[in-house]
């Protein structure tokens, strides 16, 4: 770095001094803390994004959000060139950058990293950063801090994309780096056009919906997703949909509302009740990257019938499997896409969902907990579907398979117009454009769920009956040092301390359909216990028994 650059960094960083006693760590959610102490962190992430842009010679994104966290929190994370999360290789530098105690030490750290990574400052292609934020009041000032961080790198340009859902910003970054127009209007146009295409391809005999009530009511978590979904609804004008708990309504973000609340508590969000019995309902989280469905029982205060991320994954898998089968039935299609379809879950997926998918002869893979692991594994397939039970997930299509579909659908159009194989190819192409391949996206997810339900002719009740979840229980055991627990096999087997896994196996064997594993938390000094069994009482007892074992071995 030249003297001009060093001087600019020293001068600008002196306006964003680190709060005393604050130590942050970059994880799957980026940095998240109380908004009042985040200015320095967000400023430094702006610098990080500019350096990442110079290194990759690509557009990078910075999103200001705390997703499903409480209203007073905020956070910041980076979208890499492919629209995904920041490369794990850069996470340690992100931590050091955010925690550097003084402007001088910050400058030294940046200078050393620039030399080590050989980051070019030749001005051939200046850094370009897209900035977005959700509806939190703290977002405006934090976005300005990010902008000042970006522009502290000579020649770097920051573009404020406005109030967005997190997935919208990720989509924009991916689109820009693929040479595609990437405004919010472009996002809406791609979703609506691909949705209409799928609607037009619904078989005539399935257009009678097998549901008492065709209406969809969506809980927007009092966040940005509700307002954006209303825009989509108005553009489409073909769905009978009502959005409640939008950021435009009165209500506190994530307070008794949202996908995280609904999925964990298994109760209806605020504004929903027995009047909605029989109606198909859905819930987004605060920044609209998670989605769950549910139905409300007629009795007040009764638990909802939750249709979580595992069931969404299963619905998508059934539909895509059907389309691939139609393609494979066409004898004159060579090298088809005997496409490799892969399902990716974590061990927290309900065992009943995994068994259901395996019974469909689908390839199911387990990864450690964390979207970055799921996404990476799903990218190995021609079509990879991943979801967590919390409702975060998406579908990935390989570039080679999309190219094959485009060529094949054109060939089929000329030779056998209207064939089932042609329609299957066109459906899969439309899905690849409707789904957000950068990251889990509740808005595109809602549209895909709705069109697949219409395609299948299924009500939410028929969908929910694909399989019955095994009763489960999750517990946390407070420990002095969580790192003393080391796991393997996608966090399902304890390697250390010695003997703990054998004790867990012996305890689990006592219960019908028992399954149990433990893993260290990534954020707090606890060990997480997950247990399943044939009854809720058995699952609870198994979880408590294994929690006691953890306490004994680590006490």
Spatial neighbors of 14 by CB under 8 A, at least 6 apart, are: 103
User: Residue 486, SS3?
Assistant: strand
Residue 77 near residue 30 (C-beta atoms within 8 A)? yes
- Asked whether residue 535 is marked as a ligand-binding residue, the answer is no
- E-assigned strand segments in 392-467: 393-397
In order of 27, 499, 542, the CA distances from 91 in angstroms are 8, 33, 37
DSSP string of 243-296? EEEETTSSS-TTSS-SHHHHHHH-SPPTT--GGGTTSEEEEE-TTS--EEEEE-
- Asked whether residue 317 is marked as a ligand-binding residue, the answer is no
Spatial neighbors of 505 by CB under 8 A, at least 6 apart, are: none
- Asked whether residue 497 is marked as a ligand-binding residue, the answer is no
- Asked whether residue 13 is marked as a ligand-binding residue, the answer is no
- Asked whether residue 297 is marked as a ligand-binding residue, the answer is no
Pick from 440, 429, 348: nearest CA to 385: 440
- Asked whether residue 122 is marked as a ligand-binding residue, the answer is no
Distance CA 153, CA 366 (A): 41
- Asked whether residue 285 is marked as a ligand-binding residue, the answer is yes
- Asked whether residue 521 is marked as a ligand-binding residue, the answer is yes
Question: Is 67 a known active-site residue?
Answer: yes
- Asked whether residue 545 is marked as a ligand-binding residue, the answer is no
- Asked whether residue 388 is marked as a ligand-binding residue, the answer is yes
- Asked whether residue 408 is marked as a ligand-binding residue, the answer is no
In order of 68, 217, 444, 452, the CA distances from 311 in angstroms are 21, 18, 16, 13
Pick from 310, 259, 264: nearest CA to 286: 259
Name the active-site residue from 67, 283, 314, 353: 67
Distance CA 98, CA 101 (A): 9
- Asked whether residue 204 is marked as a ligand-binding residue, the answer is no
Tokens, residue 58: 């690509």
- Asked whether residue 522 is marked as a ligand-binding residue, the answer is yes
Residue 397 near residue 194 (C-beta atoms within 8 A)? no
Annotated binding site: 67, 285, 287, 289, 388-390, 519-523, 528
* Residues recognised as catalytic: 67
Annotated binding site for substrate: 388-390, 519-523, 528
Annotated binding site for Mg(2+): 67, 285, 287, 289
């Amino acid at each position: 770095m030249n003297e001009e650059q060093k001087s600019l960094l020293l001068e600008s960083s002196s306006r964003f001094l680190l709060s005393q006693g604050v130590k942050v760590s970059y994880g799957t959610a980026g940095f998240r803390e109380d908004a009042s102490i985040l200015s320095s962190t967000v400023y430094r992430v702006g610098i990080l994004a500019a350096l990442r842009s110079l290194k990759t010679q690509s557009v990078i994104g910075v999103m200001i959000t705390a997703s499903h966290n409480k209203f007073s929190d905020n956070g910041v994370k980076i979208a890499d060139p492919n629209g995904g999360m920041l490369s794990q290789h850069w996470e340690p530098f992100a931590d050091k950058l955010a925690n550097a105690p003084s402007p001088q030490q910050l400058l030294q750290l940046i200078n050393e990293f620039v030399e080590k990574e050989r980051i070019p400052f030749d001005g051939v292609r200046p850094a370009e950063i897209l900035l977005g934020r959700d509806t939190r009041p703290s977002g405006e000032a934090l976005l300005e801090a990010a902008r000042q961080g970006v522009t502290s790198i000579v020649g770097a340009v920051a573009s404020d994309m406005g109030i967005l859902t997190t997935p919208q910003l990720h989509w924009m970054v991916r689109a820009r780096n693929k040479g595609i127009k990437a405004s919010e209007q472009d996002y809406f146009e791609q979703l609506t056009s691909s949705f209409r295409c799928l609607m037009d391809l619904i078989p005539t005999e399935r257009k009678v919906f097998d549901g008492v009530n065709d209406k969809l009511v969506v809980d927007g978590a009092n966040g940005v997703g509700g307002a954006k979904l209303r825009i989509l609804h108005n553009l489409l004008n073909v769905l009978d949909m009502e959005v409640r708990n939008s950021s435009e309504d009165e209500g506190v973000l994530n307070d008794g509302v949202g996908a995280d609340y609904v999925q964990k508590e298994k109760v209806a969000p605020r504004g929903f009740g027995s009047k909605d019995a029989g109606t198909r309902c859905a819930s987004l989280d605060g920044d609209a990257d998670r989605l769950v469905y549910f139905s409300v029982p007629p009795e007040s205060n009764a638990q909802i019938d939750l249709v979580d991320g595992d069931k969404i994954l299963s619905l998508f898998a059934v539909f895509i499997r059907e389309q691939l089968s139609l393609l494979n039935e066409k004898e004159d299609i060579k090298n088809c896409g005997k496409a490799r379809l892969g399902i990716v879950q974590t061990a927290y997926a309900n065992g009943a969902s995994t068994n259901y998918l395996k019974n469909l002869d689908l390839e199911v893979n387990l990864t450690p907990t964390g979207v970055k692991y799921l996404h990476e594994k799903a990218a190995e397939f021609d079509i990879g579907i991943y979801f967590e039970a919390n409702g975060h997930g998406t579908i990935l299509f390989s570039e080679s398979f999309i190219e094959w579909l485009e060529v094949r659908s054109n060939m089929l159009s000329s030779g056998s117009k209207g064939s089932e194989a042609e329609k299957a190819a066109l459906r899969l192409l439309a899905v690849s454009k409707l789904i957000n391949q950068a990251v889990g996206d509740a808005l595109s997810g809602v549209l895909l769920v709705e069109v697949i339900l219409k395609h299948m002719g299924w009500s939410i009740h028929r969908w929910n009956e694909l399989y019955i979840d095994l009763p489960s229980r999750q517990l946390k055991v407070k420990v002095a040092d969580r790192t003393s627990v080391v796991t393997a096999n996608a966090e399902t087997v304890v390697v250390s301390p010695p003997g703990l896994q054998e004790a867990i196996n012996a305890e689990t064997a006592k219960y019908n359909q028992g399954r149990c594993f433990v893993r260290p938390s990534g954020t707090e000094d606890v060990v997480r216990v997950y247990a399943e069994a044939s009854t809720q009482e058995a699952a609870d007892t198994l979880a408590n028994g294994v929690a006691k074992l953890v306490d004994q071995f680590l006490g």
